[in-house]
Structure 1
Amino acid sequence: MDQEEQENRRQYIRFGLHLPLYAELSLLRVGDRTARSRSQKVLLDNISFGGCLFRTHLELPPRDDVEWMLKMQLNHHEVHLKATIVRVQEEEGYFLYGVSWKLSTYERHLFHYRLNEYLQSAYAFAPHIQTLYRKVMERGGDKQFKRLDYTT
């Protein structure tokens, strides 16, 4: 299949972070047991409405029954996001973790609002990215973003 014909199979678009965004990662739950831990700083590489990719020196298990808390600052708002690790890879001495958010409907709605605010302010210096972002957000509901030509 030609690369131009391939369709993006992701449910949510990832937004690369050009400004460093750190989160405090802590263990929240293992199975049915609450298991609090001290937090560790991790660096986010990208973020989406469905999850994020972060890097750290910590070696963590990608398990469905282990729930983590990521606490981060989006503009003037501190957000707390529950997540599970869905994939891991090693790169240049770091572990890269792909996580999926585990949010209630209310938490998801609030996070979408805060992330929209953050992305719009983070890309304020680049009007062409703002325009593309608005197009992506308009197409998100009907899944048309999977065919959006982002090269122009």
Structure 2
Amino acid sequence: MDEQVAVNRREHLRFRPQTPLYVELTLWQVRDRELRTRAQRVLLRDIGLGGCSFATNLRLPVRDDVEWRVEAQLGHYTAKPRIVLLHAGEEDGLFFYGGQWRMTALERHAFRYRFDEYIRSMLAASPHIHTLYKKVADRRDEDDGQFRHLDVTS
């Protein structure tokens, strides 16, 4: 029997919140036209330096010319990155979406600093995870392909 190994194609690890975390989702821009809609609460499934995924009862367009803004409370910091949805799915009457952050270099640097701070505080009870996260974060520029097979959910 040939066993298939699932390969994580993401450039960055994603972390699942230990308790349900709701974030505010706002339509931000379609093509080059800025739009601001009323925020909708969605359930964050996972989050990382490259993007996030969430669940909602809303049917959203998965297009690279539509930007959304996600407002999430990460510890004491309120992050407001923009995201482009890359994929969607449906399960038990809910829609699941995953996407990639759209940030300038300065926004990415600030987000990374705050996100790292949030992860360290969130996982304070698991000191071994800090070492693992640091190893993976340090290797992202010198990817040898190994961490893409790493399972941090178990």
| TM, length-normalised to structure 1 | 0.89
CA distance in 2, matches of 1:54, 1:122: 19
1:109 maps to: 109
2:141 maps to: 141
2:53 aligned with 1:32, yes or no? Answer: no
CA RMSD of aligned residues (A): 2.0
User: SS where residue 96 of structure 2 aligns?
Assistant: strand
2:71 maps to: 71
Letter in structure 2 aligned against 1:147:
Q
Shift of 1:3: 4.2
Shift of 1:12: 1.3
Q: Is the contact between residue 72 and residue 78 of structure 2 (CA under 8 Å) also seen in structure 1?
A: yes
2:15 maps to: 15
Structure 1 unaligned segments of length 5 or more: list them. Answer: none
Q: Is the contact between residue 82 and residue 103 of structure 1 (CA under 8 Å) also seen in structure 2?
A: yes
Letter in structure 2 aligned against 1:140:
R
Corresponding pairs, count: 150
User: For structure 1, which segment, 74-83 or 8-17, has the greater mean C-alpha deviation from structure 2 after superposition?
Assistant: 8-17
1:4-25 Cα shifts (integer Å, max 9, x gaps):
6x75432111222223222110
Letter in structure 1 aligned against 2:106:
Y
Q: Is the contact between residue 27 and residue 69 of structure 1 (CA under 8 Å) also seen in structure 2?
A: yes
CA distance in 1, matches of 2:31, 2:138: 38
Structure 2 unaligned segments of length 5 or more: list them. Answer: none
Letter in structure 2 aligned against 1:113:
Y
